Amino acid sequence: MCEREVNALHNACERAVEWADLIELRLDCLESTPENLTEILQNFSVPVILTFRPSEQGGHRKLSREERLKFWNNVAPRGEQIWWDVEGDLAHELSPDWSRVIVCHHDFNGVPDDLNDIYKRLAVTPAKVIKIAVQAHDITDCIPVLQLLDLDDREVIPIAMGNAGVATRVLGPSRGAFLTYGSLDDESTTAPGQLTARNLRSLYNLDKIDRDTIVCGLIGLPVMHSVSPQIHNDWFAAEGLNGVYLPFEVKDLDEFLRRMVHPRTRELSWNLRGLSVTAPHKQTVMKYLDWLNPAAQEIGAVNTIAIKRDRLLGFNTDATGFINPLLRKSSLWNSRRAAIIGAGGAARAAVWALQKLNIVTTIFARDLDKAQPLATTFGVNCEPLASASFRDYDLVVNTTPLGSGTHIDQSPVTCEQLNGVSCAYDLIYNPADTRFLREARKAGCDTIGGLEMLVAQARIQFELWTGRRPG
């Protein structure tokens, strides 16, 4: 808990006990250290971890070495319900009850080359628990962090901070980590990449994960906005399967597939069963796979990987997911002309699927040079987006990221351009109501949001990974 005032800290703790077994009190967040700290802690119903961290190690106050030593030696309460989280540079100058001490090291720059040496220096202390938290810049930074759990029989808290390190926070306890950290809400995180305690327990089912848990996930950049974890984790629970679905922020696809995914070369022992693939990896990933199904080969993009024995199998479930919502729209049964905005992996699936229905399709793009290879592959026309009018088209599909993330207030086209169109289809699902869809409604179009496609294609993915088709 990181609050500026004691009263706010106590109120936050009362809310946290619903989800937490221990509560960390970030005393460095307080404007000043209360004199009656022992009395305050007597009112807590769960054990607490006291932290008094200087700003250079991730704290919220500038604290000199002398101030920190004075706090731990003269001010910090002791007791059966109280843990101390102490930086390694102070450990040899303290005389606490070592059975309730976490000795820690933080590196907000990255994973240091001497990570194991840092561990050994902390292990020299008699502290009960060793905590090492380092910044992850890519998913493979999780490997050396999780491998700290295999060094000896000491209690360890290994954390890879940042979005790329989420896997260490969710999977750590199942691999022997002493604990993991979660925030009270999205606004009160105390470290990069920290998930809420509620999500750790209710979304990722942290308490049920073990070494046998089926692990699946979404690879892309970015991925934290995705609602796929909610969809797949709900299905795991509904089907009574021991599984978890995680977001994997992947920059270096080659390193990730080699070191973490492929059964013949991966450096982690985990029950990884399958992956969803999103931008920017849908096309690049194909060259790393051992087999492609015909649809994926024809489309030229993969959005699903299934791991079978020692092989990586590639599929494209986007095309079927894309078509299903369209088939439920009676107004589109007679559609014969469609416009696709964009030229990425999702666009490839959409063009392929529409051609299977004998719908004449045209690609519209801002950069015709980048879009022309796709148009040539499928034998369709390619037109500039800026000057486009869609009056003669029955269906217009947005496959670009405009409308989400940092582009949330943008639309690839205007209301005027969409006049006369029967249906506008946005493949973006977060947010559910995009500016593109609002522009389309102003133009009198019927609309379809991306969540319908996401769920339809995810259902096929789940079956490929588990053998079960969720309801």
Q: Is the peptide bond before 280 cis (omega within 30 degrees of 0)?
A: yes
Write out the DSSP string of 186-220. GGG-SSTTPPBHHIIIIIS-GGG--TT-EEEEEEE
Strands 304-308 and 311-315: antiparallel
Whether 62 is a known active-site residue: answer no
Output the six-digit token pair for 195.
């998930």
CA distance 321 to 276: 13
Output the six-digit token pair for 362.
């045209």
Other CB atoms within a 10 A radius of the CB of residue 6 amount to 18
Q: Which residues contact 87 (CB under 8 A, 6 or more apart)?
A: 53, 54, 57, 68, 103, 104, 105, 106
CA distance 400 to 412: 8
Q: Report how far apart the first and last C-alpha atoms of the chain are (Å, whole number).
A: 39
Active-site hit among 62, 120, 282, 442? 282
**Strands, E assignment, 88-124:** 101-107
CA distance 28 to 53: 6
CA distance 37 to 415: 61
| Helices 450-466 and 318-327, axial angle in degrees (round to 10) | 130
Output the six-digit token pair for 10.
């106590």
Output the six-digit token pair for 329.
């729209």
For the CA atoms of 71, 73, 79, 83, what is the dihedral angle to 10 degrees?
60
CA distance 92 to 417: 70
CA distance 133 to 2: 18
DSSP 29: G
Q: Tell me the residue type at 95.
A: S
3-state secondary structure of 402: coil
| Helices 345-356 and 318-327, axial angle in degrees (round to 10) | 50
**Contact of 133 with 103, CB cutoff 8 Å:** no
Residues in the chain: 471
Strands 291-292 and 23-26: unpaired
Name the residues annotated as catalytic: 282
